[in-house]
Amino acid sequence: MRLVLQVILFASLLLSLNVVQADDANKKTPSEKKPFLTVCLIDLQGKPVVGAQTGMIALINGYDEENGANWSFGHFGLKSDSNGLIHFRDPDKYRGLVFARHAGRRLVAVKRTDLLKEKEDPLLLTMYPECHVTWQIKSKQLNQIGKKIGLIRGLSGSQNISCQWCNDMGSKLHFFLPPGEFTLVSSGEYISPVEKKIVIKEGQKEFNAGVTNADAKKWILLEGKPAPKITDVREWKNGPPVKISQFRGKVVILEFWGWWCSPCVLTGIPSIFQLQDEFSTEDLVIVGIHTPYSEKDEVTSVKELDKKLNQVQKNMWKGKTIDFPVALTQYRKLPYLAGGEPVANSKMCVDYGIDGFPSSIVIDRKGNVVGKFRLRVKADRDKLRQLIKEKK
């Protein structure tokens, strides 16, 4: 289920784009560089469409009835010229699919081109009047425990590759698509990913994809309940195996991270270092849950992990080292839910419902899960401080 994986990793993708944008500012693609792909956009009458946009990401950053959708095509946006042509010159900025939109005429087109054995030069791509697709997401589990669904994200995919993202909306998602077959995927901070396949007919202007129920993420359902045990560990860093039960009377943070995860090593672990400096080990215990992203990212020994982190420690952590216990969990592809697709990377991720990194699960002095904290957010850090101040 590649589209589910894409929406899970969307937050990390946006973070990486910010970094790329800074690096890209000093690089200019030579205008004389030969295009590896040229697309000619035409309307239903066969006339060139001038000023249509395309880019690395077709992103909708919100929607309201009065103003419509707030569109963005990312830092690498391109526009069709006076002949309707779009020249793709940099393969690193091309994802294998063209999603183009003309804002004024409300025309859209989608075409996956990396699978074409023979490409016309230029490749003709017909733009159609866009169909406004709406999709409502609800969660019975969240409703039963008195929690709102919160902000959700979504994507639409064509030929198993994403073509349009909806970022941080309410419980209703909005897509703008041409005729064809599409897969819709939704996820959020509090819900597990769900998907739906739709078919849009030519001339269709509105499409109601109905209401889909999404399961709550496991860590929310665990709030106030005993924390699951630490399992499936290959080796422990910084001492013998530990159990959550041995830390009764203390506040515990389970830090889910990986050496392969840029946000983890850039901000996640440094945030943990700051917490260690602020609070005494008598009140706060940190336990790292190292999780591989794929089989090639798995580390099977402490020695191997230390080698992976050698340059990070020198260049990013200013010589600091991880001195808290870290469980090196096994790479296992498992479903988050019974009967679901095996998209989780470890049993610990399944037990706690973790599908993003870094993730910090806080456990109270009684051994019960408090919730998932964002340690870079002041409000969550204040909640953590309050928990630590509250004695038995």
Nearest-angstrom CA–CA distance, 217 and 229:
18
Tokens at 355, concatenated: 């599908």
Per-residue pLDDT reduced to its tens digit, 199-217: 999 999 999 999 999 999 9
DSSP string, 29-71: --TTSPPSEEEEEE-TTS-B-TT-EE-S--EEEEEETTTEEEE
Instruction: Give the SS3 label for residue 327.
Output: strand
Task: Tell me the pLDDT band of 18, cut-offs 50, 70 and 90.
Answer: very low
CATH number of 218-389: 3.40.30.10
What are the CA-CA distances from residue 83 to residues 97, 297, 301, 384 (Å)? Answer: 21, 47, 58, 59
Instruction: Give the SS3 label for residue 113.
Output: coil
Furthest-apart CA atoms within the chain: distance in Å: 75
β-strands 128-129, 107-112: how paired?
Answer: antiparallel
Task: Tell me the pLDDT band of 65, cut-offs 50, 70 and 90.
Answer: confident
Asked whether the predicted pLDDT for residue 10 surpasses 80, the reply is: no
Cβ-count burial 243-278 (b if 16+ within 10 Å, e if not): ebeebeebbbbbbbbbbbbebbbbebbebbbebbee
DSSP string, 128-140: EE-EEEEEEEE-H
- Tokens 């999709």 locate to 135
Pick from 66, 60, 64, 40: nearest CA to 52: 40
282 or 370: which leads in pLDDT: 370
- Tokens 């456990």 locate to 363
| Mean pLDDT of all residues belonging to the chain | 89
| Beta-carbon contacts of residue 142 (< 8 Å; ≥ 6 apart) | 148, 149, 190, 191, 216, 220
Asked whether the predicted pLDDT for residue 385 surpasses 80, the reply is: yes
Q: Which residues pair with 152 in a beta bridge?
A: 169, 188
Superfamily of domain 1-9+22-216: Immunoglobulins (2.60.40.10)
pLDDT for 8 equals: 46
Task: Tell me the pLDDT band of 392, cut-offs 50, 70 and 90.
Answer: low
Per-residue pLDDT reduced to its tens digit, 226-271: 999 999 999 999 999 999 999 999 999 999 999 999 999 999 999 9
Kind plus residue range of the DSSP H or E element containing 285:
strand 284-290
pLDDT for 28 equals: 46
Q: Which residues pair with 153 in a beta bridge?
A: 187
pTM: 0.80
Which DSSP letter does residue 96 get?
S
Kind plus residue range of the DSSP H or E element containing 22:
helix 10-24
The ranges assigned to domains in the chain are: 1-9+22-216, 218-389
Kind plus residue range of the DSSP H or E element containing 7:
helix 2-8
| Beta-carbon contacts of residue 25 (< 8 Å; ≥ 6 apart) | none
Pick from 363, 374, 292, 353: nearest CA to 327: 292
Residue 186 contacts residue 3 (beta carbons within 8 Å): no
